[in-house]
Chains A and B, each alone.
Chain A
Amino acid sequence: MKYIKIDKKKWASGIDALTKSYRLYGPVKEEAFHNFKELEKGMLPDLTCLNTRLSPKSLIYPQSEALLEYSLDGSQKDHHIMKEIDKDYSPRAVIGIRPCDAKAFVLVGKNFDTPEYKDPYWLLSYEATTLVGQACESPCSTCFCTTAGCGPYHEEGLDILLVDGDDHYLAKALSEKGEKLLSAAGWDESVQAAEAESQIESKKQAAEKKIASIVHTNKLRDIDTTKLYDAPFWEDVSFSCINCGTCTYVCPTCWCFDIQDENRGKSGMRMRNWDSCMFPLFTVHGSGHNPRGTKLHRVRQRFMHKLKYYVDKYDSGIQCVGCGRCVRLCPVNIDIRRICDLMNSFNASEDACAV
C-alpha cells in the first residue's frame, strides 16, 4: 500500500495536471447545495461539502443514456436494424467522492456485472473511472454508515482515500488505478506506511464515534420472506407515502431502469432512463393487471428489496450505505432507519399473539 503526502499548495497544480489525462468530476456548489459536476480547467472540487444533494451514480450510470441507434428510413441499407453507438470511455476521475457513495458502486455492480450477463454501459464506465474519496470528518445527523456496512473512512470501492491533515492531504492509494492517478498529478512525496496508518487509524476512530445514528440488520437474513412480506406494519409505514420517487432518484444504490425508443424524423435511439419502483407504471401488465397495484405494495417492494431480497440474494449485507439522503429529502419523513429496525425486530409469531 502506497501513502503519499499532498501539500495543499500542490493541490491545484496537481488537479490541473490531471486534466491532461482525465476528465474530472467533483462536488460543486450550485445555488443552495452541492452536486457532482464535470470540472472545467481551472475549477477545483469543493471539498468542504458534507454530502451532495444527488448521489454521484449518474457519473457511471446516467439518468438518461442512449443504448442503441437505428434508422427508420427504408431507403437506407440497414434500416430497422439496431446498431451499437460509439461511446467515450476514456479515463475519468471523481475527486472528493464520499466513501459511502463509492461503496454504493460496489453494491450496484452486483446487479450489472453477473456471471450470466454483463451490462457493457455500466461496466465500461465504471472501469474507466478512478474514484478519489474524501474521508468524512463531520457527518450529517442522518448519516448511519457505520451500521450499514460502510463508514466515514471505508475504503471498499475507492481507488484513493484522502485524509485531510490541515496543511496537507494524506493519500492512501488503494488500487493500481489510484497509484496511476497520483503519479499523473505529480504528487510523489511518500510517507512511511506505519506512520500513515496510525495517523489514519486514530482519525478514523474519532470520525466513527461522531456517527450517532444506527440501524440493526443482524436478524434480517433469518426472517421468513413471506412472513415479513405479510407483516402488519407495512400499512402504517406506507400510509403517508405519496409515491413521488425522490428516495429512489437520490439513492446511490437504486438502479432500476426503463427502456424506451425515442424517434426523431426517420431515425432514433433506444434509450435507458432511470425508473422507480414507486411508480404504478413500473409493473403494470399490458392487460391492465398490476401485481404491485397499491402504494403499500410499492413501498414494501422498495424496503424489502434493499433490506431483505438483496441480503438473501448476495449474502453481502443490505443494499444501503447509510448516506441518509432519502431520510433528509423524503417530503413525508419516511425514515429507512425506522423501517429497517421494524423489519429486523419483526417476530411473526409474537405479532400473531398480539392480535
Chain B
Amino acid sequence: MQNPYLPYPIRIDDIIIESEDKNLKTFKFVFLNPDDERKFSYKSGQFAELSVTGKGEIPIGIASSPTEKGFVKFTVNKVGLVSSYLHAMKIGDIMGIRGPLGNCFPWERLEGKNVVIIGGGFAFTTLRSSIIYMLDPSNRSKFRDIHVIYGARTPGMLLYRDELIEWEKRDDINMHITVDGTDDPNWKYNIGFVPTITEKKAPPAGKDSFAIVCGPPIMIKFTQPVLDNLGYSHDKIILSLENRMKCGIGMCGRCNIGKEFVCKDGPVFTLEQLNKTPKEY
C-alpha cells in the first residue's frame, strides 16, 4: 500500500531572496532519487507539502512549471515555525516533499480561450507556474489572448522581477504590472491597486473568456465587482484558496469549506462553486 504520508527526499539546490523585505524566498529543490521526480508529475495550480524534517510540513503552491524539468520551485513566505526554519536552511540541506496535491487550474476548459490572470502580493506562485506553462512553445497556440495583471505594494515586493520584465517585452502576452505606490522616478509601469488596474486594462469578457484570480482577500473582494462589470460569469472566474492544512489528502478534517476539502477538492474552485459553500477561508 502506497503511504501518502511518506515524503520524497529532496535537496535544496538554490535559494533566491525574492522581496526587498527578505520575507519571501524561492527554493529550488532537486529530488535525491530521479525516479521520484517522475512520480511527482504535476500540473500548474497544484501544491505540495514541504516537509522540514524535525519541524513539520507546510502546504505551498508549486511555482515551477511542468515544462521546467530537473527541479521544482517554491516561493515561501516566512510566517510560522516551519517556514521560519526553512528560511534559515542552506543550499545542500536535505528535506522532503509530498505531492503533488489538490486539483489544478482547469487546463482543458481553458484551451482555445482568452485568459486574464489577476494576482496580488505573494499569491503569484502558481500563477508564475501557469504563465511559464502557457508561454511554452508547445502550449502557446492552445490559448488565445493572455492578459496578466499583477500588483504588489512596491516594486521591490514584486516576485520574479526578471521574468516579469522579460514577459513585458513579448508580444504574445499582455502584461500590466502595477504597484500600490513608489518613489522610484524611473518606474515605467502602472501605479494603482489591482482592482483599479483591472478595470482599466482587463479585456471585457467574450463568451470564451476566463479570469484566474489569486491574491489577498481584500483584493479578491474588490476585484469581483470589476469582473462582474466586465461580463465575466461566475463559472468563468477561477480562484485558488488557502487554508490551514496538515494531511493534504482530505483526511485530517480542518481545511473544509462545507463538504469540500480545500486540499483535495481544491485548492482551485470557480466562484460559482464558492457561492454555494460557507465562506470559511
B-contacting residues of A (Cβ < 8 Å)?
67-68, 70, 72, 79-82, 84, 111-112, 114, 116-120, 123-124, 225-226, 229, 255-261, 263, 268, 270, 275, 277, 282-287, 291-292, 297, 301, 304-305, 308-310, 312-313
Contacts and interface: CB of A to CB of B under 8 A. Distances in A.
23 contacts: A67-B5, A81-B9, A81-B94, A82-B51, A82-B53, A111-B253, A118-B2, A119-B4, A120-B1, A229-B258, A255-B253, A257-B251, A259-B246, A261-B53, A261-B54, A261-B55, A277-B253, A283-B255, A285-B242, A287-B79, A292-B280, A297-B280, A308-B259
A306 to B, nearest CB: 11
Nearest to B58: A286
A338 to B, nearest CB: 22
Nearest to A281: B244
A259 B53 CA distance: 12
B7 A82 contact: yes
Interface class of chain B by DSSP: loop
B56 A259 contact: yes
B187 interface: no
A258 B255 CA distance: 12
Contacts of B246: 257-259
Interface in B250-276: 250-256, 258-259, 264, 276
Contacts of B7: 82
Contacts, number: 130
Contacts of B279: 291
B226 interface: no
A80 B53 contact: yes
A257 B255 CA distance: 12
Contact of A80 (B57, B95, B242, B253): B95
A286 B250 contact: no
A72 B242 contact: no
B7 to A, nearest CB: 5
Interface residues of B, number: 46
A283 B96 CA distance: 24
B251 A119 contact: yes
B259 A257 contact: no
Interface string B44-56: 0000000101111
Nearest to B96: A82
Contacts of B253: 111, 255-257, 275, 277, 305
Given A258-B246, A259-B5, A259-B57, 14 more contacts: A68-B6, A72-B53, A80-B53, A81-B9, A81-B53, A84-B6, A257-B251, A285-B243, A286-B77, A291-B281, A304-B278, A309-B256, A309-B258, A310-B259
A312 B258 CA distance: 10
Given A72-B54, A79-B94, A261-B53, A283 B6 contact: no
A146 B201 CA distance: 62
A312 B259 CA distance: 7
B93 interface: yes
Interface in B1-57: 1-7, 9, 32, 51, 53-57
B79 A70 contact: no
Nearest to B95: A80
Contacts of A260: 56
Contact of B54 (A70, A225, A255): A70
B277 interface: yes
B254 A116 contact: no
Contact of A68 (B5, B249, B254, B256): B5
Given A114-B250, A286-B79, A268 B54 contact: yes
A309 B251 CA distance: 14
Nearest to A285: B244
From A82, A229, A255, A297, residue with most partner B Cβ within 10 Å: A82
B247 interface: yes
Contacts of B94: 79-81
Contacts of B1: 118, 120, 123-124
Contacts of A256: 252-254
Contacts of A258: 246, 252
Given A84-B6, A270-B5, A225 B278 contact: yes
Nearest to B252: A257
Contacts of B276: 225-226
Nearest to B9: A81
A26 to B, nearest CB: 29
From A111, A259, A291, residue with most partner B Cβ within 10 Å: A291
